[in-house]
Structure 1
Amino acid sequence: MKNEQWGNRAGFILAAVGSAIGLGNIWRFPYVAYENGGGAFLIPYLFALLTAGIPILILEFGIGKRGGGSAPLSFRNLNQKWEWLGWWQVMISFVIITYYSVIIAWAMSYTKFSLNLAWGEDTKDFLFGNFLGLTDSVWEVGGLQTHIILPLVIVWAIVFFTLYKGIKSGIERISKIVMPLLILLFLIITFRGLSLEGATLGLNHFFTPDWSKVWNYKTWVAAYGQIFFSLSIAYAIMITYSSYLPKKSDVNNSAFITAFGNSGFELLAGITVFSVLGFMAVQSNVDISEVAAGGVGLAFVVFPKVINTLPAFNELFGFLFFGCLVLAGLTSSVSILEVIVAAIRDKFNLTRQRAVVWVTAVCFSVSLLYATGAGLYFLDIIDHFINSFGVLLSGLVELILLGWFYQLSKIREDGNMTSDFRIGTWWEIMVKYVTPAVLFFISIQNVIGAFKDPYEGYPTSALLILGAGCALAAILLGYVFSKLKWHNPQHTSKKEVA
């Protein structure tokens, strides 16, 4: 089976940046920065970008390009015993796409609601009551929220047809359309936010440095965590995307462009969000700390409130904001599902079209779980555990295996031969020592925190079954899939890539 390739370098970079720029850039970064020292947070953030983000991107671009296939196949080609790691990351992507698609469906619904401000004055009650139909407890599942099903079907249809068309005609083409459009629309929102009364107040809260927090280890943990999650590393995404690169492609410069493009958008999101929050604080005559929020609360409770109080163009602002959430989510969803499609294709020797049909059908079916009355509970718990004990741990294992049991110099020299500039031994030091040490420390803190305080006060049974159970299932299923027979005769060789 001949491997597909990107049409050109720009297509690959736009797709990689599109994968990295997702919902977390808009609703996670601004609040994380605000909570961890404002402008002072940019110091550990930049340090984490240079010591972890870019080095791991270079590593994963190199693994995919050198391994020549999906994550399981690429790891297998580097070392016969490492296929399971690739499948572990595939399973992590499977878990993530099933709930990520539902959030995009919410954003799609809110894009429509913005046309007549259908959420009313009590935006919190509208979200949790009218729209989500949230039940009283985790184990009270409730029925399917039928009004969420239609936008969810649309989301899956867009992702399906994009992947069905392939790399050049599907992923690359949509990336070249969506990414410039997303940036244009978000710039419009930013300029509108900056023109509002109170925008300066918000920006002062966002950028004014609290230097005391720079010396707090939690700030550095937050910075590394943000870099890790926002760049789509350890999801097998960048390995999969780079496997479609021609052998003479630049990887070093592409990694820098992808990383700085992602961080630039995060900074833009921070400016936009806090200029709007400043306006909200002035209008409500409260301190900005009372309106600052992150995650679902920011996007679907706070921003609708802001939109309600705008002096003009309320509907247009709402349409643009939620439209940006949809666009950012779709490009990330395409990349996450491609991870699974590529792995299934390689393992079972399927055509792209057949693999896309099967994978989409399974993922869509599972995603319906999050469209129930308890869907938000499931989403919150599973997202927390799969990121804290899935993505971070798989990234740590990846760095240990490649850093200590593989000749990193092979990947470095391979990339240097075809890149615009060469990277030195500093890269190997980051991959082998610095970043694994930081991730190990973060993982220990996560474990301590999990036992110290139950996450968000959820019952222990839910945390164990849904959270820990899901994270553990990803590992076990990854191991099971690694033991299945390869049906593609081209990939049965046990020879390690030289």
Structure 2
Amino acid sequence: MKQKNGFSGQIGFVFAAAGSAVGVGNLWRFPYLAAKDGGGLFLIIYLVLVLTVGFTLLTTDIAIGRKTGKSAIYAYEAMRKKWKFLGVLTFLVPILIMTYYAVIGGWILKYITIYLLGSGEQAVDSNCFSNFISAPSSVWYSIAFMLLTSFIVYNGVEKGIERVSKFIMPVLLLMVVGIAVFSLTLKTTLEDGTVRTGLQGLAVYLTPDLSGITLERFLQIALDAMSQLFFSLSVSMGIMITYGSYVKKDVDLNKSVSQIELMDTGVAFLAGVMIIPAVFVFSGLEGMSAGPGLMFVSLPKVFFCMGFAGRMIGILFFTLAAFAALTSCISVLESITANCMELFHSERKKTTGILSVVYLIVTAVIALGYSVFYVEVKLPNGSTGQLLDIMDYISNSFLMPFIALLSSIFIGWVMKPAWIAEEMELNGGKFRRKKLYNVMIRYIMPVVMTILFLQSTGLLSQIIK
């Protein structure tokens, strides 16, 4: 069944796709990894991977979507009936991600209210975040975020997703740039008279740290960068296939892919400029090791040190994070909706309505996984997780690398790269990175994705040992 609606043009598609790619991970995970993995060294490796692996995965998904005009399940079936199972696997990823993305959005909404209703001092308490998520009342914030996502998807592609993305993405970019510039102007004087400045923090962020570098360390940094890139671009989860199916044939896909790469990487880079100098000024190098707690634990302390300006920055930052979470959450629900519309031959409003009820219930269960439904499970990668972590592990660490591996084999050796190139060259367009794509999809991607899959599942360390 051909999709009856779609994006109005290239700008609408690029903003929607970039909105999907630019998620919460760009705002806290990227800066944390950059600080942990040698600053500029991580940035260089990440940029190289964006222009090779990221380009290959993004091009593949979007071209498949537009050429078949279908969402993941039927797209793969239309290409080769025996490969429909790959479409089903791909469809499972957004189904699992949707169980917890609105929960994270709810956490961000809570922090917006903290800064709107007070000075932000409440957020400085190290136990603020853990106390909040372990309280059953936290579920209402996640439900509110899920309802907002459902409302936008309910209104369709052009009137819902595209309209919201065209507003949110420019505002998000302006906010990132504004906060980044402000961070560079910060400075503080320590008790011993030493002055720390935002520009010094920028130098920490940009300068490649090669101290203690070994082959094993370099490979770990590369795998961290690959993991971040992989999940950041919304590839191998059917989202870009679905969005690609909405793109008109006169849109230049080559230009669109480049613009999405640039926007997603630009926001991630600027997030580092926004966060690392500020954390360095008020917390020093020790503050860089906050890890996943950077957004909800370390940054509120930084904002509080800024006084009244910090409250304003706190409101702006968490509003920015909410925008990033919302555009990504929309794309995940849209991917599920599009597949269900094709599977059950149902119309959008009815499908979205049913899915919304299902995910409101599931969101509530996952949000209560830190209180009412608390569990602790040992995961294959060595970590211990609750319900949210389990869903995240299955979708991100297991399924996505596995799907990318199978997809690279399918496109590279069964369909052949020329099948993708034909769509990229439609209407006389020039596939500028055609040779690179051919080498990547056939030879490099299968190897890289096998390594990433083994590393994510904890098998790589066992093999090395």
Which residue of 178, 181, 184 maps to 1:188?
A: 178
Matched, 1:27 2:28: yes
Q: TM-score w.r.t. structure 2 length?
A: 0.89
Which residue of 330, 338, 352 maps to 1:356?
A: 352
Give CA-to-partner distance per residue, 1:226-279, whole Å, 9 cap, x none. 211110101111000010111232212211110111001110001111011112
State the secondary structure of the residue aligned to 2:398: helix
Match of 2:198 in 1: 199
Are the aligned partners of 1:99 and 1:370 in contact in 2 as well (CA < 8 Å)? yes
Equivalences for residues 236-275 of structure 1 within 5 A: 236-275=238-277
Equivalences for residues 268-307 of structure 1 within 5 A: 268-281=270-283, 287-295=284-292, 297-307=293-303
Q: How many residues in Structure 1 have an aligned counterpart in Structure 2?
A: 434
Q: Share of identical aligned residues, percent?
A: 32
Gap runs ≥5 in structure 2:
188-196, 376-384
Which residue of 416, 432, 444 maps to 2:454?
A: 444
Match of 1:486 in 2: none
Match of 2:192 in 1: none
Are the aligned partners of 1:249 and 1:419 in contact in 2 as well (CA < 8 Å)? no
State the secondary structure of the residue aligned to 2:252: coil
CA distance in 2, matches of 1:74, 1:12: 19
Match of 1:392 in 2: 401
Are the aligned partners of 2:236 and 2:403 in contact in 1 as well (CA < 8 Å)? yes
CA distance in 2, matches of 1:418, 1:205: 46
CA distance in 2, matches of 1:244, 1:220: 34
Are the aligned partners of 2:176 and 2:267 in contact in 1 as well (CA < 8 Å)? no
Letter in 1 for 2:133: L
Matched, 1:5 2:14: no
CA distance in 2, matches of 1:311, 1:109: 20
Matched, 1:145 2:136: yes
CA distance 1:121–1:153, shift in 2 (3 Å): closer
CA distance in 1, matches of 2:162, 2:396: 27
Are the aligned partners of 1:221 and 1:442 in contact in 2 as well (CA < 8 Å)? yes
State the secondary structure of the residue aligned to 1:300: coil
State the secondary structure of the residue aligned to 1:313: helix
Deviation at 1:186, TM superposition (A): 2.0
State the secondary structure of the residue aligned to 2:47: helix
Give CA-to-partner distance per residue, 1:36-74, whole Å, 9 cap, x none. 221122222122112210111111111001111111111
Match of 2:58 in 1: 57
Letter in 1 for 2:439: I
Are the aligned partners of 1:114 and 1:319 in contact in 2 as well (CA < 8 Å)? yes
Are the aligned partners of 1:119 and 1:126 in contact in 2 as well (CA < 8 Å)? no
Which residue of 294, 298, 320 maps to 1:324?
A: 320
Match of 2:310 in 1: 314
CA-based RMSD of the aligned residues comes to: 2.0
Matched, 1:40 2:36: no
CA distance 1:32–1:61, shift in 2 (3 Å): same
Matched, 1:157 2:147: yes
State the secondary structure of the residue aligned to 1:234: coil
CA distance in 2, matches of 1:83, 1:364: 29
CA distance 1:298–1:417, shift in 2 (3 Å): same
Match of 1:233 in 2: 235
Deviation at 1:426, TM superposition (A): 2.3
Match of 1:112 in 2: 113
Gap runs ≥5 in structure 1:
134-143, 282-286, 453-498
CA distance 1:23–1:214, shift in 2 (3 Å): farther
Match of 1:383 in 2: 392
Which residue of 139, 146, 158 maps to 1:168?
A: 158
Letter in 1 for 2:445: T
Deviation at 1:34, TM superposition (A): 1.9
CA distance in 2, matches of 1:65, 1:362: 29
Letter in 1 for 2:21: A
Give CA-to-partner distance per residue, 1:391-438, whole Å, 9 cap, x none. 111111111111111122022022112364323232111111112211
Match of 1:422 in 2: 431
